[in-house]
Amino acid sequence: MNTMSAAIGFEWLKLRRARLTWVATVVLGLAVPLLSTGLLAAARSDSTSQLAVKARTMATETGWSGQFTVAGQFLSVAVLVVVGVVACWIFGREFTDRTVAGLLSLPTTRIQFAVAKFTVLSAWATVTCALAAVTIVVAGLVTETGALRAHDWAVLGKLFLAALLTIILTAPLALASSLWRGYLAGIGILFGLLVVTQLATAAGLGGWFPYAAPGLWLGLGGTDAAAAITLPQLLLPLPIGLGAAVATLLWWNGNGPTENR
């Protein structure tokens, strides 16, 4: 086994054994889709409760499209929070636990460890989002009648694409956790981004703010806001995420961990 494969195996072993990973997988892959299904059921009921009224403002479509749209609005936030926290943990754990010296004792370069961390994070996040999509479909089969139409599959694909764009946006959190040598710094920036996203959206600038655009595209700001999202706005996460990923790799390769500081 070469050193790159060994690094990936090592990072996967840490991720698989971490309690955080299992909690994150259950929350993102099962709990959030089921919660959105419950909210949609409330929207379709005759209830006049505050929850039902709020749910009806989110469920602007009927049938499967409504199922996927409501779930997408939940996932647009949940993916950033859950995957973001895991990204901070993956890149900051050794610094916080003061075990980074153990990495340096292995016959693997620092940049290989960084690549392995991104590889494992991306694979886990993608599979977990796929699990969320499956959960949404299964939950819909329980509550819906009729077969999935081509339009419905297109909406589900839109949801999954937005989730992938959001996964890419967690790369700056990996960079922050590396630069400040600990996952708490990255988590702090994550919650700061959530606040700034709300402010940018409220100011009408959400379409040009990378962390807001995928959610708005899924209908988080209403149907008019979703229709106003353009392709350049939707693709903004790519240069942000890829640029942060490259910066993280360069940091690990050049100014990365050499000692416990």
What confidence tens digit (pLDDT) does each residue in 55-100 have? Answer: 666 666 667 877 888 888 889 999 999 999 999 999 998 888 887 7
Write the pLDDT tens digit of every residue in 14-39.
999 999 999 999 999 999 999 888 88
Q: Distance between the two ends of the chain, CA-based, in angstroms?
A: 32
Q: Which pLDDT value is given to residue 140?
A: 84
Who's near 176: CB < 8 A, 6+ residues apart?
88, 185, 186, 189
Q: What are phi and psi of 48, to 5 degrees?
A: -110, 15
Tokens for 163? 């989730």
Q: Which pLDDT value is given to residue 63?
A: 75
Q: Which pLDDT value is given to residue 104?
A: 65
Q: What is the pTM of this model?
A: 0.91
Q: Which pLDDT value is given to residue 75?
A: 92
Is the sign of the CA dihedral 63, 66, 67, 69 positive or negative? positive
Tokens for 190? 């994550």
Q: Which pLDDT value is given to residue 40?
A: 78
Percent of the chain, pLDDT > 90?
Answer: 59
Q: What are phi and psi of 149, to 5 degrees?
A: -95, 170
Q: Which pLDDT value is given to residue 259?
A: 46
Cβ-contact 89, 183 below 8 angstroms: yes
Q: How many CB atoms lie within 10 A of CB 10?
A: 17
Q: Which of 37, 32, 28, 31 lies closest to 140, judged by CA?
A: 37
Nearest-angstrom CA–CA distance, 218 and 210? 14
The parts of the chain modelled with pLDDT lower than 50 are 259-261
